[in-house]
Amino acid sequence: MKSADRPVDVLPAEKLAKTPGSADADASTFLISETFVSRQGEGSLTGQSSVFLRTSGCNLRCWFCDTPYASWNPEGTRQTIDELLQLVSDADTSHVVLTGGEPLVASGIVQLVDRLREAGNHVTIETAGTVDPGVRCDLLSLSPKLRASTPDENEHPRWAKLHEQRRLPIQTMRTLIQSAEATQVKFVVDSADEMTEIDEVISQLRVSPEQVWLMPQGVSVQELDAAKPWLLSIAESRGYHYCDRMHIRWYGNRRGT
């Protein structure tokens, strides 16, 4: 599946970092960086053929973001809800993954999710959980951002401040969890030193260990292989899942996968 064949629409980050319902947000279309059909590579639905709809625009700026074309340098084409529903209808799967960027900052996201589910689709939302537009989904794939995710304050002073202010609203995350049919909580782990913070966040979110997935920070098979032994051991010792990034193993770190 390919995105609509139109000129790329590139907008500044400030324009795309709106919260839902802002006065100048456009609910009639979504800025979509890419759409594709692939196998889910992470979490409880690993291996499931799914339609991926990647919105462009994010209110955070993780230094390790592997989709900068949807966050640091957001780009894409404008598509309507009807166009996106048709893309999904044309695919040979009823599993839909909304990802980003941060899909929950897109005005109109609640209407899109509702219509996808009304059409009989299973909807997963990949989100950092920083905003709650009132959405309900089949699987909330929540990825809280840890302290180490903040970009360098010398290189990006404005975004470092905004990122730190926005990255971990626990009550908002709890509300999103309560509204979802099912939840998985995924953490990108760069060091074993982050486990104290991870355990604290899990306790604050009040989720069970079997809902937690630990995923290595890395965009190559070599980085995944290097992290797996120590991270798998940590996950097993706490009753968490180890979350490999199978799309990187299957396809490499590239767009459309």
Q: What is the dihedral of CA 100, 228, 153, 61, to 10 degrees?
A: 0
Asked whether residue 22 carries a pLDDT value surpassing 90, the answer given is: no
- Average pLDDT in the 109-124 region? 98
Element (H, E) at 75: strand 75-79
Give backbone dihedrals phi and psi of 185, rounded to 5 degrees, phi first.
Answer: -115, 115
Predicted pLDDT of residue 5: 30
Instruction: Report pLDDT digits (tens) over 147-161.
Output: 999 999 999 999 999
59-109 tens-digit pLDDT? 999 999 989 999 999 999 999 999 999 999 999 999 999 999 999 999 999
CA-based nearest residue to 70, from 34, 105, 122: 34
**Beta pairing class for 122-127 and 139-142:** parallel
* pLDDT tens sequence across 200-219: 999 999 999 999 999 998 88
Query: Quick one: pLDDT at residue 27?
Result: 63
Contact present, 35 and 51 (Cβ < 8 Å): yes
Average pLDDT over residues 176-198: 96
C-alpha triplet 33, 149, 75: angle, nearest 5°: 15
Cα 145 from Cα 129, distance rounded (Å): 9
Res. 14: pLDDT tops 50: no
What is the pLDDT, as a whole number, of residue 26? 54
What confidence category does residue 9 fall into, taking pLDDT thresholds of 50, 70 and 90? Answer: very low
CB contact at 8 A, 140 and 104 = no
Q: What is the DSSP string of 135-160?
A: ---SEEEE-PPPGGGSPPTTT-HHHH
Angle (deg, nearest 10), helices 170-179 and 195-205: 60
**pLDDT tens-place string over residues 220-235:** 999 999 999 999 999 9
Q: Which residues of 225-234 are buried (b: 16+ CB within 10 A; e: fewer)?
A: eebeeebbeb
pLDDT tens digits, one per residue of 24-64: 345 679 999 999 999 999 999 999 999 999 999 999 999 99
